[in-house]
Amino acid sequence: MYIIIHYNEIALKKGNRDYFEKKLIKNIKERFDKDFPEKLERIKRFPGRFLLKLKKENLNKENGAENSNKKSMKEDLKKNDDVRKVLKNIFGIHNFSFAKEIDQNIESFKIGAWEAMKNDKFKTFRITTQRSNKDFSMTSEEINREVGDYIFKKLEEKGLKPKVNLKNPDKECFVEIFNNTSFVYTEKIGGVGGMPVGTGGKALALLSGGIDSPVASYYGIKRGVSIDFIHFHSLPYTNIASNEKVENLARKLLKFQLNAKIFMVPFAEIQQKIVINCPEKLRVIFYRRMMMKISEELANKRRYKVLYTGESVAQVASQTLENIVATNDAVLMPVFRPLIGFDKLEIIEIAKKIDTYNISILSHEDCCTRFVPKHPETKAKLKEVRKAEKSLDVKKIIQEALKNTETINI
């Protein structure tokens, strides 16, 4: 069994394309090693695509060749469906196809295309040929006409009245000509696109138990960024289930990257200090500022380039422009907010797509819901915030928080 993988954006990298191709191949191999040990035989690079060859399954000879073949076919079908699900979540892949190898001549193209199409129901079709081997004696258009004419006649023999539709066919059959071999297939399975994970550096994402932050992390990973997570909790004042929920959210994102760390930061005592020393209306602002400062310090120590958050303008009181500015003022490190212009329904749709939504909506005790003022400030004045912060021993708060931080490898 072969799989042809096409990429898209990587093709624009010109002189750096080799680096991105090798990183994508490495990510594919590592994913196979984790999910399908011994399944992948090899990956070979061709212009604009990769060719994966899967190892053949061993037949069970005890039950006879016929029964063994049937069993092998059923097992292969199930395993290939698992492979399909995994490849759909590897960033950098634009589309991929399960393909059959055929000899490199026009008669093989005809027979291969017919074998791939004959059991499907359709009224219109087209043949699409792509050639890596430009030395082949026929052009792509000539192959399309020859194979299309053959399919047309075979369908007529079955009493059907087929039509060729080049713009929107019911069925499309692809012929790909490589250096010294060729393949035929009828389905291009869409991938997630983006860039190979690991090509965009490392970042630290503030992960709550809500809907937004996992989606923001997803968009970071999609651009090739390796994401680790930091979570602020108020144990023992909140339930341990809240921390478990966050860990489950991070695990959901592992289908897009192989592994990650979660830094669990105790936040209850910090909140108490803020309640005692800071104006009530600014409590949430200072919760956010301390989170950002602690995250930045950890990021600098661990060599993360930027911070990611799930903030969206005007979604809650702490996310007005004025309050985002007041929060951002707490750090020097760049803070990326992929969802800044999204509305809630858009974020929810992505959360459902990446399968984090059902976990995010489970009830949990968020540390930021403790000691929330009745009337939180929605338009914080930066000068006032900076002045109020002088009542806190910020350096000591950060040091104690990092000292008591637990690291979870997932």
What are the pLDDT digits (tens) for 385-408? Answer: 999 999 999 999 999 999 999 999
Verify that 186 and 206 share a domain, yes or no: no
Q: Is residue 269 part of a domain?
A: yes
Verify that 133 and 6 share a domain, yes or no: yes
Our count of domains for the chain comes to 2
Verify that 32 and 177 share a domain, yes or no: yes
Give strand pairing partners of 231: 264
Q: How far apart are the first and last CA of the chain?
A: 32
Verify that 54 and 183 share a domain, yes or no: yes
Q: Which domain holds residue 292?
A: 202-409
- For residue 311, CA distances in Å to 63, 261, 318, 321, 408 come to 60, 21, 9, 11, 24
Q: Is residue 399 part of a domain?
A: yes
Q: ω before 334 within 30° of 0 (cis)?
A: no
Q: Is residue 195 part of a domain?
A: no
Q: Is residue 135 part of a domain?
A: yes
Give strand pairing partners of 13: none
> CA 292 to CA 275: how far, in whole Å?
18
Is the pLDDT score of 370 beyond 90? no
- Angle, CA 100 vertex, CA 99 and CA 104 arms, to 5°: 115
Confidence of residue 306 (pLDDT cuts 50, 70, 90): very high
Confidence of residue 315 (pLDDT cuts 50, 70, 90): confident
What are the pLDDT digits (tens) for 185-239? Answer: 999 999 999 999 999 999 999 999 899 999 999 999 999 999 999 999 988 777 7
Q: Burial code of 256-293, b = ≥16 C-beta within 10 A, e = fewer?
A: bbeebebbbbbbbebbebbeeebbeebbbbbbbbbbbb
Is the pLDDT score of 84 beyond 70? yes
- Answer for the pair 233, 271: CB distance below 8 angstroms, yes or no: no
Is the pLDDT score of 152 beyond 90? yes
Among the candidates 161, 190, 219, a domain finishes at 190
Is the pLDDT score of 64 beyond 70? no
Q: Which residues have a Cβ under 8 Å from the Cβ of 53 and sit 6 or more positions away?
A: 1, 2, 40, 41, 42, 43, 44
Is the pLDDT score of 288 beyond 70? yes
Verify that 143 and 275 share a domain, yes or no: no
Torsion on CA atoms 71, 77, 82, 85, rounded to nearest 10: -170
What are the pLDDT digits (tens) for 228-275? Answer: 999 999 887 777 888 999 999 999 999 999 999 999 999 999 999 999
Verify that 208 and 175 share a domain, yes or no: no
> CA 151 to CA 129: how far, in whole Å?
14
Verify that 128 and 259 share a domain, yes or no: no
What is the rounded average pLDDT of the residues 304-326?
A: 92
What is the rounded average pLDDT of the residues 60-85?
A: 55
Verify that 157 and 228 share a domain, yes or no: no
Instruction: Report the run of H or E that residue 202 belongs to, with start and end.
Output: strand 202-206
Could you tell me how many residues make up the chain? 410
Verify that 18 and 75 share a domain, yes or no: yes
pLDDT at residue number 69: 42
Q: Is residue 284 part of a domain?
A: yes
What is the rounded average pLDDT of the residues 65-89?
A: 64
Of the chain, the percentage scoring pLDDT greater than 70 comes to 92
Verify that 230 and 276 share a domain, yes or no: yes
Q: Is residue 197 part of a domain?
A: no
Q: Is residue 40 part of a domain?
A: yes
Is the pLDDT score of 48 beyond 90? no
Q: Which residue has the tokens 């915030």?
A: 385
Verify that 220 and 286 share a domain, yes or no: yes
Verify that 221 and 247 share a domain, yes or no: yes
